[in-house]
Amino acid sequence: GWTDSLAGPAGLVLAVALGALHTAPGDPCNVVDFVPVDTVVASMLASAWFMASHGGGAPGGGKAAAACARGEPLVVHCSSSGDNPVSWGFMLNAMPGYFERHPSSKTRGAIHFRWARSQAVYSALHAVYHTIPATASDVLAWLRGLKGGTRAKMERLTSLLRPLVFFACHEWLFDASNLGAVRHALNCADRATLDLDVAALCWDTYFTTWSRGMKVFLLQEKPSYVRSRL
């Protein structure tokens, strides 16, 4: 649930949650294929066991069994897009919402965000929300004899998040049926130990835990333990 890196979606979420970012290219309806790392590790272990104990035979038959019969490798996808999809829009509603309930001392402005589905809309929103305010801030700082740099920081933030834009503008749906069959091949004890059921994930709880982790481990702030407000 926690992370110690700003790479990937964590950087995007924190930028929005701290009031530094208000728009980015992307479609809020696109599926983002999140999988907890515990589930990924468990899937690797279970798949390795299955391949060793079943001689590479595909679970459940069908197209996968035919592929194995032809000597093709068995592909086991560990993904949430098929069984428990979550969108970029849901993520950026749930996670900054945590920071609204538990404000950070590093917050720089109001928390609001809007996806831009086209480059034209993004250019307009970026100018209104980012470029113009940052330029005005630098001019005021210059008039007061202070060093600005707000626009440079905004441009650096935009540049850092640019690799993520491709994924926010596209989506991929993976067939995880082979992983489900591997899970059913496990005995009850192993199934309880190796939790492969992505469909049972509650994304609201997951994103709340992740947000709390970012506040503690990335922002180095004490967590809020007001359970009634989580």
pLDDT at 109: 86
Is the pTM above the cut of 0.85? no
Whether 209 has a pLDDT exceeding 80, the answer reads: yes
**3 falls in which pLDDT band (50, 70, 90)?**
low
pLDDT at 155: 92
C-beta separation of 194 from 49 below 8 A: no
Of 224, 48, 209, 23, the residue nearest 116 (C-alpha): 23
pLDDT at 227: 45
* Dihedral angle, C-alpha 113, 98, 4, 161, nearest 10 °: 0
Q: Is the pLDDT higher at 65 or at 23? A: 23
| pLDDT tens digits along 80-133 | 999 999 999 999 989 888 998 888 988 888 899 999 999 999 999 999 999 999
Sequence-distant (6+) residues with CB within 8 A of 115 are: 23, 24, 25, 26, 27, 28, 88, 89, 92, 168
Cα(40)–Cα(24) distance, integer angstroms: 29
Of 171, 21, 173, the residue nearest 95 (C-alpha): 21
Whether 168 has a pLDDT exceeding 80, the answer reads: yes
Residue with tokens 């702030």: 221
| pLDDT tens digits along 134-146 | 999 999 999 999 9
* DSSP letters for 142-191: HHTT----HHHHHHHHHHHHHHHHHHHS-------HHHHHHHHHS-HHHH
